Amino acid sequence: MRLNKIDFTVNDISDLELEKKIRKSLRSDITTSVSLGYLENIIVHCGLILKTQSPQLKKPALLMFAADHGIAENNFPATKSYLKTLGSLQGTSPVSILCNQNNVALRIIDLGVNFNFESSFSFWYHHGKLLSSKKIAFSTRNFTQFPAMTSRQCEQAFDTGVNAVLRVKRNNGNVVALSSLNSDNHISAITVASALLEEDTEILTEKALNDEQKKLVSRALNKHPKTHDPFTILTLFGGFETVALCGAIIEAARQQMIIIIDGLTALVALTVAETIKPGVKKYCVSVGTESHFLRKNLNLKAYTPESIEEEGINANLMISLVRSALSLNNR
């Protein structure tokens, strides 16, 4: 996909008549003197996205995009992307256990992990179905010295995210949770947000950067020319997984699917996606709690009580919450 030719209009989910019908149905069908509170808001939001008075989750999927970063060359702790991915392949990670319990289809997309998973028995045990190998490179480049990726690589990553969502849609899924597998290496996501919003890193996230990391971000931002173009910013500072998440968010909105955002990287990707295609955020039922500033900037809510470091867990909790809320409306 040519990144400068994303030629669709995001449909507005607003429908006052449908909203009134959903709320009236809830209040007439449920015998209780206690308000359903935010559960009612979740039901209404899902109904507006799916354009139905009786919304249901169909074949929920959790897409986790994995990649390593060249910034690790600067004595920055390397990500444990390959270890987390192997844990999920072996069924021992908390995310894979929760997905099995909640009947959520887990799919890990490798865009640039510095590891050859085809040499792992676990990869072949699942016949390659759990892990999708879409490796662009074995990591991005060190963005304190060079652009993180080429324009072509950025397009490849974006298309990978789009195609991952289309696969869920072709399987008749109507909800997709989006996350990443690089929680140890959040410096790239913070740098992208800082460049895009022109804000200091300290207010962008509750994940504080240490002094050395702040210097790296400052050096990177001063190294490259300032720009307001989101794709240029992704090319300069982004990770393959961040770009793929942008593509996945925009395509899920185009397909009018329910979106659940989990983790700082996915939240930054949503911020970029909203810049590219205003209105995609309306398809997000919930986002993570990793950044109060970014959530406030997007005017979105987080229904899970607090952030959990392990990506994918909040997504599972939110899918369970949405499923439970919708059951009140579909008795």
- Which carries the bigger pLDDT value, residue 253 or residue 302? 253
Q: Is residue 324 part of a domain?
A: no
Q: Is residue 74 part of a domain?
A: yes
From the CB of residue 103, how many other CB atoms can be counted at a distance below 10 Å?
11
Task: Report the domain count for the chain.
Answer: 1
Query: What local confidence, expressed as pLDDT, does residue 78 receive?
Result: 52
Q: Are 238 and 155 spatial neighbours (Cβ–Cβ below 8 Å)?
A: no
pLDDT at 203 over 90: no
- Residue from 8, 9, 37, 13 nearest 284 by CA: 13
Q: Are 64 and 108 spatial neighbours (Cβ–Cβ below 8 Å)?
A: yes
Q: Is residue 296 part of a domain?
A: yes
Q: Look up residue 262 and give its DSSP letter.
A: -
pLDDT at 245 over 90: yes
As a whole number of angstroms, the distance between CA 300 and CA 289 comes to 10
Beta bridge partners of 261: 178
Nearest 5°: phi and psi at 66?
Answer: -120, 140
As a whole number of angstroms, the distance between CA 99 and CA 219 comes to 40
Q: Is residue 254 part of a domain?
A: yes
Task: Quote the domain boundaries for residue 233.
Answer: 58-319
* Three-state SS annotation for 290-329: CCHHHHHHHCCCCCCCCCCCCCCHHHHHHHHHHHHHHHHH
Predicted structure pTM score: 0.92
pLDDT at 100 over 70: yes
- ∠ at Cα 232 (241, 149), nearest 5°? 50
Residue 132: CATH number of its domain: 3.40.50.10210
Q: Is residue 217 part of a domain?
A: yes
Q: Is residue 149 part of a domain?
A: yes
Q: Is residue 326 part of a domain?
A: no
What residues contact residue 92 under an 8 Å CB cut-off, 6+ apart?
none
Tens of pLDDT, residues 38-87? 899 999 999 999 999 999 999 999 999 999 998 877 655 555 677 788 87
Beta bridge partners of 67: 112
Query: What local confidence, expressed as pLDDT, does residue 179 receive?
Result: 94
Q: Are 239 and 265 spatial neighbours (Cβ–Cβ below 8 Å)?
A: yes
pLDDT at 4 over 60: no
Query: What local confidence, expressed as pLDDT, does residue 122 receive?
Result: 65
Q: pLDDT band at 123, cuts 50/70/90? A: low
As a whole number of angstroms, the distance between CA 326 and CA 203 comes to 35
Q: Is residue 34 part of a domain?
A: no
Query: What local confidence, expressed as pLDDT, does residue 317 receive?
Result: 92
Is 271 exposed, middle or buried (CB count within 10 Å of its CB: 0-12, 13-18, 19+)? Answer: buried
